[in-house]
Amino acid sequence: MGPGSVGSRSGGCGRYIGVTALLERLFDVLDDSLVASTLDTALLGGADFAEVFVEDKRNSSAFLDDGKIEELTSGRDRGAGIRVVSGDTTGFAHTADLSENGLRNAAEAAAAAARGGGGGVRKVSLERQFASRDIEVETFPETVAKATKVELLQRADEEARATGDAISQVSARYGDSRRRILVANSDGLLAGDDQVRTFFSINCVAQGDTGMQTGRESHGRTVGFEMFDDHDVSEMARTAANRAITKLSARPAPSGAQTVVVGPGGGGVLFHEACGHGLEADLVAKSASVFAGRMGEQVASPLVTLIDDGTMSAEWGNFAIDDEGRPAQRNVLIQDGILTDYMYDQIRARKEGRPSSGNGRRQSYQHLPMVRMTNTYITAGQDNPADIIASTPNGIYVAQLGGGQVNTATGDFVFGMTEAYLIEDGKITEPIREGNLIGNGPEVLNRIDALGNDFAMGHPGTCGKDGQGVPVGDGTPTLRVTSLTVGGTAA
């Protein structure tokens, strides 16, 4: 739908940052009275709830391939989404016109889509809410010259190629964004956030007697350009290149049931996809989750505590408030193997008479919010990682997992292994390639028999759900799963 378009559907706080002086300058056309009058208009039809979400997002990116800059872009997107809830019906309109007329028209359109009768007038009194933010951006990326960003790509390309003659192709990408939001609703909330993210990735291809193999490394943080003070692109390039070169001598992955040890940070995506989505309250309510109706039950090994935490400082899924204005929170979903909670957005929480867990997120002002993860991870255990390997006679060590597929209703999944090795006689030995991990999320949770004390977050990711993508993080310590099916190509 384009600006001003309307849609309807039937059916169905931690840290806090308020509307700072910075946000006031950003939304200088949106004083409190204009926001309040927009909400009043949205409520004229007798709706139960109304919300105004305003977003101003700037982004830039640069892409290098085969030693040449193929892409150098920047853009800005600014607009408002207005949501009106009446009974079980939600009306939604979005517009790029932030004038009084533009907002009024969008509010009327959303109200018309949601109208279920009732009538009457409700006036909204907005109260600004403030709190401190624990991330201090030192250098906003928009203040950095494009030539400086391009130099990072060129340096990574040169370093990767210098790693070895086997490196035949290199591509690298830089990206940054600054997303400023304002959220106001008919409960009287008025809040804002200023989210800055910086990202860099490099992909290398090595060519040898066994064909071509790839290696990748990436970093992304909710900080400014100062990210590169802690993450050297030359080191990232060497890491990616060495991964590709190592895989040239890799053996085909074995097939069948194997003991699998997952390295720190390397398997977070598995638990995000195979378990995390099943703990989102909207999927639970639709009985599209294997965890539906299991609150208070043991769903994992007693070693396992699973957390979703939007407050993790500088991590990719970090924010001060979610896209409904609710504070980011640290939510314990599974405690010592027991299912203790689900993740909620505002609408689902209201229906169940409980507070939101701060998991209402949307891709942009053109989208409705829904229940989404932030930074999802398994907490560290007590075991020495070296002891976990030494006590595993034979199996697979997975350093990094790639993409995969998951059925949230059953928990069944398939994930590719992008960096993995054999474990033989309690030692990590030869690299393997062309393998998948095949299993079931709840079964994997129950088969974890060792957790390392070396927790780490994995690479930054974009989580897709119902056509929307949002930034997320995930992490694990070293962990061992007693049995997983490996789909390999070895005879």
Listed residues 249, 265, 291: the one ending a domain: 249
Q: Give residue 135's pLDDT band: very low, low, confident or very high (50, 70, 90).
A: confident
Residues 189-244 pLDDT 10s? 999 999 999 999 999 999 998 889 999 999 999 999 999 999 999 999 999 999 99
- Based on the domain organization, do 213 and 242 belong to the same domain? yes
Q: In whole angstroms, what is the distance from residue 395 CA to residue 256 CA? A: 11
- Based on the domain organization, do 344 and 463 belong to the same domain? yes
- What value does the mean pLDDT of the chain take? 90
Which of 353, 373, 209 is closest to 277 using CA atoms? 373
Query: Does any domain span residue 82?
Result: yes
- Based on the domain organization, do 424 and 378 belong to the same domain? yes
- Based on the domain organization, do 115 and 164 belong to the same domain? no
Q: Give residue 118's pLDDT band: very low, low, confident or very high (50, 70, 90).
A: very low
SS3 for 103? helix
- Based on the domain organization, do 222 and 264 belong to the same domain? no
Query: Does any domain span residue 135?
Result: no
- Based on the domain organization, do 325 and 386 belong to the same domain? yes
Over 80: is that where the pLDDT of 97 sits?
yes
Over 60: is that where the pLDDT of 24 sits?
no
Residue 136: the pLDDT is 86
Over 60: is that where the pLDDT of 120 sits?
no
Q: Are 112 and 45 in contact (CB under 8 A)?
A: yes
Query: Does any domain span residue 136?
Result: no
Listed residues 204, 222, 249: the one ending a domain: 249
Two structure tokens written together for 293: 């109706």
Residues 150-189 pLDDT 10s? 999 999 999 999 999 999 999 999 999 999 999 999 999 9
Alpha helix locations (H) across 44-82?
none
**b/e code 137-171 from CB counts within 10 Å (16+ = b):** bebbbbebeeeebeebbeebbebbbebbebbebbb
Q: What percent of the chain has pLDDT over 70?
A: 90
The residue segments making up the domain with residue 427 are: 256-487
For residue 211, the domain's CATH number is 3.30.160.150
- Based on the domain organization, do 352 and 324 belong to the same domain? yes
The gap between the terminal CA atoms of the chain, to the nearest Å, is 51
- Based on the domain organization, do 294 and 359 belong to the same domain? yes
Query: Does any domain span residue 381?
Result: yes
- Based on the domain organization, do 238 and 372 belong to the same domain? no
Q: What's the structural domain count of the chain?
A: 3
Query: Does any domain span residue 188?
Result: no
Query: Does any domain span residue 415?
Result: yes
Which of 329, 310, 326 is closest to 318 using CA atoms? 310
Residues 6+ apart with CB under 8 A from 69: 62, 63, 150, 153
Residues 426-470 pLDDT 10s? 999 999 987 999 999 999 999 999 999 999 999 999 999 999 999
- Based on the domain organization, do 370 and 410 belong to the same domain? yes
Residue 127: the pLDDT is 59
Q: Give residue 491's pLDDT band: very low, low, confident or very high (50, 70, 90).
A: low
pTM value is 0.91
Sign of CA dihedral 207, 208, 210, 216: negative
| Angle (CA) 359 352 123, round 5° | 80
- Based on the domain organization, do 312 and 338 belong to the same domain? yes
Answer with the residue of higher pLDDT: 83 or 26.
Answer: 83
Query: Does any domain span residue 268?
Result: yes
- Based on the domain organization, do 414 and 397 belong to the same domain? yes
